Amino acid sequence: QSALTQPRSVSGSPGQSVTISCTGTSSDVGGYNYVSWYQQHPGKAPKLMIYDVSKRPSGVPDRFSGSKSGNTASLTISGLQAEDEADYYCCSYAGSYTKYVVFGGGTKLTVL
């Protein structure tokens, strides 16, 4: 069982917006502004999409945005495109020696 809780799947039509939630605790998501999001296509390595809750690395489209409220972080993808179909994982610093970083279980995004 993953430390952070994400919905197993979400879906949307091209051009629409979807939001993926990521719920943790005050010891991880709620305690630090160090939430990141990763996109993973089948058979590929994860790719950083959002870091520090809402910052986008160079090269990531501004259709991707992040936010946080309390113990829940969210990734919103607007103007859905076919290539956005992938698995998405949230991640948070968790502050302890053996629970340094925790991931969510992943959300499968389907573009209808």
Partner 1 sequence: EVQLVESGGGLVQPGGSLRLSCAASGFTFSSYSMNWVRQAPGKGLEWVSYISSSSSTIYYADSVKGRFTISRDNAKNSLYLQMNSLRAEDTAVYYCARGHITIFGVVTHFDYWGQGTLVTVSS
Q: Does 13 bind partner 1 (CB under 8 A)?
A: no
Binding mask 59-88 for partner 1 (x = CB under 8 A): ------------------------------
Of 36 and 65, the one with the shorter C-beta distance to partner 1 is 36
| Rounded Cα–Cα distance for residues 106 and 40 (Å) | 10
C-alpha separations of 80 from 3, 26, 34 in Å: 28, 31, 25
| Rounded Cα–Cα distance for residues 83 and 43 (Å) | 15
Which of 51, 74, 75, 109: binder of partner 1 (CB under 8 A)?
Answer: 51
Of 12 and 104, the one with the shorter C-beta distance to partner 1 is 104
Q: Which residues bind partner 1 (CB under 8 A)?
A: 2, 32, 34, 36, 38, 44-48, 51-52, 57, 89, 91, 93, 95, 97-106
